[in-house]
Amino acid sequence: MTSENENYTEILHWLRTQAKELGFSDVRISDLDLSQELPFFQDWLKKGRHGQMHYMSRHANLRANPEELLPGVVRSICFRMDYLPREQIQNPTAENFRKKELEQLQDPSHATISVYARGRDYHKVLRKNLLTIAKLLEEKLAHLNYRVLVDSAPVLEVALATKSGIGWRGKHTLSLNRQAGSMYFLGEIFVDIPLPIDQPISNHCGTCQDCIDLCPTKAILAPFQIDANRCISYLTIEHPGAIPLELRTLMGNHVYGCDDCQLVCHWNKFAKKSNLSDFDVRNQLDRSTLEDLFGWEKADFEKKMQGSAIYRIGYERWMRNIAVALGNYLRSDAIDSIQKLNIAELLSKRIGQISELVDEHITWALNFEKSIK
């Protein structure tokens, strides 16, 4: 007679096969006891390190009590989906990719966009594929209550990924894996069946703290402690108003997100490419210049960014970010006098076209340019 545990083990094997066919690289199971994580999260909120991400403080206790999100839930099925674009990885170690990305950070005319955002919106991809898996699992079992989660509920997903053995929490606070680095998405399916639990893996950061030392804005205050108020990803994506003056020159050519702490991480020499076309680069976002992108009208932005994670920040923040990057381009040693005049003209023409917020950042860029003549 087959035991219940043997049945669940077979189900888990089947589940991992289905997940692989849908582009997931790993599937692990964790319980839902996150009580040890809550004090750290509450302290982070208390210190205001979440910036203006007010949704982080709403229902804060729910983040450590997942059972309140789905009655009867006992397990989280944790998924990893690698996202490096297929066409950009020429060797299995991804060293060429990291080298190229780091070189582009040194080119002040280049518009740096976080790798994960260059293709289709990952929320759409993961949710669709996780729902497919959940429905297949529901069909296979006589009864199943589930909830699919992709940044859609108050859940401490890195903590769940850590408990499940997907990876360990790196000093930059992201999930890290010895075979895949950190360039992957996380998603979960909460279920009410007691699947066999996987074990956490040990931390392999050792004494390395390159992610801390090389963060442009010093947003990583200490191992596992990040201040979103200083993080370029937060500033270019979540922050709704004017970017603090003292941080603008530190942002370099970043216009959406920041991968610096991942690119300098030695484990990302093992980062894996996706096998999905969804994460292929769209609109040449891996090789665009600041001048090209600043020339987009609102209609261009909405057309080209439809279906992208970038779309949700809107045209105003997009142009605000590029204005800051252009200001940094004007101050660089790499720009000649003719280019400087062209950039200044490009910026000046935009004044009064978009919003007062964008105008303020353009004015800052132009005043900065004048101050270094």
Give the pLDDT confidence of 63-109 residue by residue, as tens digits.
Answer: 878 888 899 999 999 999 999 998 755 554 567 889 999 999 999 99
Region 265-294: mean pLDDT is: 96
Which residue in the list 33, 151, 213, 300 is annotated as catalytic?
A: 151
337 pLDDT band, cuts 50/70/90, is very high
* pLDDT at site 64: 75
185-194 tens-digit pLDDT: 999 999 999 9
- The strand pairing partners of 28, in sequence order, are 78
Q: What is the CA radius of gyration of the chain?
A: 22
Give which of 299, 260, 253 is closest to 182, Cα–Cα.
Answer: 260
121 is catalytic: no
Q: What DSSP line would sit under 133-161, residue for residue?
A: HHHHHHHHSS---EEEESS-SS--HHHHH
Q: Report the mean per-residue pLDDT for the chain.
A: 94
6 pLDDT band, cuts 50/70/90, is low
* pLDDT at site 329: 97
Give which of 40, 276, 51, 255 is closest to 162, Cα–Cα.
Answer: 40
Residue ranges of the binding site: 63, 151, 186, 205, 208, 211, 215, 231, 233, 258-259, 261, 265
Are 88 and 183 in contact, with CB atoms under 8 Å apart?
no
Q: Is the confidence at residue 372, as pLDDT, over 60?
A: no
Region 128-140: mean pLDDT is: 97
Residue ranges of the binding site for [4Fe-4S] cluster: 205, 208, 211, 215, 231, 258, 261, 265
Catalogue the E-assigned strands of 2-136: 26-30, 75-82, 112-113
Q: What DSSP line would sit under 69-89, residue for residue?
A: TSTT--EEEEEEEE-B-GGG-
* pLDDT at site 106: 96
* pLDDT at site 151: 85
Region 100-124: mean pLDDT is: 97
* pLDDT at site 2: 45
Region 298-322: mean pLDDT is: 98
Residue ranges of the binding site for cob(II)alamin: 63, 151, 186, 233, 258-259
Catalogue the E-assigned strands of 9-111: 26-30, 75-82
20-68 tens-digit pLDDT: 999 999 999 999 999 888 899 999 999 999 999 998 888 877 887 888 8
* pLDDT at site 1: 35
* pLDDT at site 92: 46
